[in-house]
């Protein structure tokens, strides 16, 4: 701002004059000289088919109606106080200015050590790890950086709701492979048929939101074979990587050299450490992909907040925190499933994530979005209709419940669902 403008005293606006434009109107109280005028033109939407995300809609409805909120995925509980103390320590010590664009060195080094211990692959913190403002930003940035107008991007539906809009904003086309109700398993022959010379990216997600399924080693083998000899990039959303149950292991693209070489792997500290509101995650990718990712990243967020990164770098060194997460959520899953078994809902398997799908086939003919709203208002429990994860929803009779909640919250929700009118 020029110095002269900065020095000029702030004025609320002109008094009404014969030349005042049509939008001018006196404000409701003294001191306000105008209401905010309307934008004087058309605003063609870049995302005309998109409303407010279902997570916001259902959480808002739950708050309005006082329902137990098992809709949007976020933990009800806090992280251990140590994590907050570490953030405060770094803030007080003066680490409050911009971090390096790719993330603090300490955090990237801690991530490299963690990933190496988990998946046996050494990512170079300098060139292959980038700290992001959460998983959703990482996904948007990766798609924006790597997908060109006219390209095709293969998604597996039901798909997390940010994927397709990111593809549309990149000027590309989303091509949908089905994970069919109720098993939600990939059909690799179908995926093979969907691959075309225009396919630039395949977006994968294991453990899978919303279905709670996980991919096996064989699935990753099929994926690897499918992309071999192509220039297709895999965008692997692994934000629930530490929530895999029943002694099974998470199949990361980072485990397999041939896939790691073409994958952008997305992870989330919010999910792992019960701090979804902090919006911090990271991506792992070979340096050629990281270079392009960072070209965009620097202009989207530039850099992620410093004291939280420094705190996480220290916190991460205790592997028991992420290694213990599976047992922590497995117990909650079992508790929640035992409670839901007392209702008339039928449970689908839950192999990972903190989401449980429940089928209401045979109970009511209502569409899932209609039922989710009614159950929130009348039954006092908010859930997510799985149709929100589709472009053309099949409206399978299934709802998603988040069990990252205190035990008594889960118990009360199950009691309410047992009393629900179908």
Q: Taking a C-beta distance cutoff of 8 angstroms, is the pair 229, 199 a contact?
A: no
**73 is an interface residue for ligand GLN by CB under 6 A:** yes
- What DSSP assignment string belongs to 176-217? EEEB-TTT--B-HHHHHHH--TTEEEEEEESSPTTT-----H
**Nearest distance, CB of residue 165 and ligand GLN, angstroms:** 12
Report DSSP state, residue 388: G
Q: Which is nearer to ligand GLN, 181 or 355 (CB)?
A: 355
**How many other C-beta atoms are found inside a 10 Å radius of the C-beta of residue 371?**
23
**Nearest distance, CB of residue 183 and ligand GLN, angstroms:** 20
**53 is an interface residue for ligand GLN by CB under 6 A:** yes
**Tokens representing 217?**
């080693």
**72 is an interface residue for ligand GLN by CB under 6 A:** yes
Q: Which is nearer to ligand GLN, 160 or 315 (CB)?
A: 160
> What is the C-alpha separation between 240 and 248, in angstroms, rounded?
14
Restricted to residues 171-210, the positions that interact with ligand GLN (CB under 6 A) are 209
Taking CB atoms, the residue at the shortest distance from ligand GLN is 73
**Nearest distance, CB of residue 157 and ligand GLN, angstroms:** 15
| Backbone φ and ψ of 276, nearest 5° | -60, -30
Q: Which is nearer to ligand GLN, 210 or 397 (CB)?
A: 210
| Backbone φ and ψ of 3, nearest 5° | -60, -40
Q: Which is nearer to ligand GLN, 255 or 279 (CB)?
A: 279
Peptide bond into 149 cis (omega under 30): no
Q: Which is nearer to ligand GLN, 174 or 404 (CB)?
A: 404
**Nearest distance, CB of residue 53 and ligand GLN, angstroms:** 5
> What is the C-alpha separation between 24 and 36, in angstroms, rounded?
9
Restricted to residues 209-248, the positions that interact with ligand GLN (CB under 6 A) are 209
**Nearest distance, CB of residue 403 and ligand GLN, angstroms:** 12
**What is the distance of C-alpha 296 from the center of its chain?**
19
Q: Which is nearer to ligand GLN, 123 or 403 (CB)?
A: 403
Q: Which is nearer to ligand GLN, 95 or 209 (CB)?
A: 209
**Nearest distance, CB of residue 209 and ligand GLN, angstroms:** 5
**Nearest distance, CB of residue 145 and ligand GLN, angstroms:** 21
CB neighbours of 312 closer than 8 A, spacing ≥ 6? 83, 107, 110, 269, 273, 280
Q: Where on the chain is the footprint of ligand GLN (CB under 6 A)?
A: 53, 55, 72-73, 209
């Amino acid at each position: 701002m020029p110095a002269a403008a900065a020095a000029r005293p702030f004025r609320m606006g002109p008094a009404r004059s014969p030349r005042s434009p049509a939008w001018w109107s006196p404000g409701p109280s003294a001191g306000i000289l105008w209401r905010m005028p309307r934008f004087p033109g058309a605003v063609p939407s870049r995302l005309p088919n998109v409303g407010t995300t279902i997570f916001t809609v259902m959480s808002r409805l739950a708050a309005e109606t006082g329902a137990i909120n098992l809709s949007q995925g976020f933990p009800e509980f806090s992280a251990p106080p140590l994590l907050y103390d570490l953030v405060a320590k770094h803030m007080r010590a003066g680490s409050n200015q911009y971090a390096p664009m790719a993330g603090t060195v300490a955090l990237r080094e801690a991530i490299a050590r963690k990933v190496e211990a988990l998946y046996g692959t050494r990512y170079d913190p300098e060139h292959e790890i980038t700290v992001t403002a959460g998983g959703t930003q990482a996904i948007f940035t990766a798609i924006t950086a790597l997908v060109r107008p006219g390209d095709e991007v293969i998604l597996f539906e039901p798909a997390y709701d940010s994927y397709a809009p990111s593809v549309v904003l990149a000027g590309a086309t989303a091509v949908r492979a089905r994970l069919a109700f109720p098993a939600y398993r990939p059909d690799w022959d179908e995926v093979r048929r969907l691959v075309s010379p225009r396919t630039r990216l395949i977006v994968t997600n294991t453990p899978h939101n919303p279905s709670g399924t996980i991919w096996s080693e064989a699935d990753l083998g099929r994926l690897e074979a499918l992309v071999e000899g192509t220039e297709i990039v895999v965008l692997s959303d692994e934000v629930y990587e530490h929530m895999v149950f029943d002694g099974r292991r998470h199949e990361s693209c980072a485990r397999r050299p041939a896939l790691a070489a073409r994958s952008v792997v997305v992870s989330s500290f919010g999910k792992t450490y019960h701090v979804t509101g902090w919006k911090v995650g990271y991506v792992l990718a070979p340096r050629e992909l990281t270079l392009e990712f960072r070209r965009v990243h620097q202009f989207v967020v530039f850099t992620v907040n410093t004291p939280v990164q420094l705190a996480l770098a220290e916190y991460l060194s205790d592997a028991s925190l992420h290694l213990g997460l599976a047992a922590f959520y497995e117990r909650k899953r079992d508790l929640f499933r035992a409670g839901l078994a007392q209702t008339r809902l039928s449970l689908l398997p839950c192999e990972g994530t903190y989401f449980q799908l429940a089928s209401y086939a045979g109970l009511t003919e209502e569409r899932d979005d209609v039922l989710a709203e009614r159950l929130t208002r009348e039954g006092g429990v908010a859930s997510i209709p799985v149709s929100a994860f589709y472009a053309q929803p099949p409206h399978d009779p299934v709802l998603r419940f988040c069990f990252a909640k205190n035990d008594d919250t889960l118990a009360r929700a199950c009691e309410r669902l047992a009393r629900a009118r179908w």
